[in-house]
Amino acid sequence: MIARRVIYEGRVQGVGFRFSVKEIAQGYELAGWVRNLPDGRVQMEAQGDDAEIEGFLQAIEDSHLRPHIRRKVVTPIEPTGGLKGFQIRS
């Protein structure tokens, strides 16, 4: 199992970004969450099998969200226990 933290920059708040990411996550076997940050960015953390995480991140890139993303920073993190499903956090 691997885990990734992704920070998305651009016009990623007020456009349904979090809801779309959650919808995309439904097609993958992973756990995690997404939330808006006070500075206008969006933070996401996801963990699961390497292929599932990579596929999920690519699906976000290939989705209708792409024009809203100016920059993304992907950071490997340690997987944590107890995560179930994919959630939107406030």
Residue 37: both structure tokens together: 């940050």
Provide the 8-state DSSP code for 13: S
Residue 25's contacts (CB-CB under 8 Å, 6 or more residues apart) are 32, 46, 56, 86
Distance between CA atoms of 49 and 54, rounded to whole angstroms? 9
Q: Is 36 assigned a catalytic role?
A: yes
Find the catalytic residue in 4, 5, 18, 89. Answer: 18
Find the catalytic residue in 5, 11, 35, 36. Answer: 36
Q: Is 71 assigned a catalytic role?
A: no
> Where in the sequence numbering do the catalytic residues fall?
18, 36
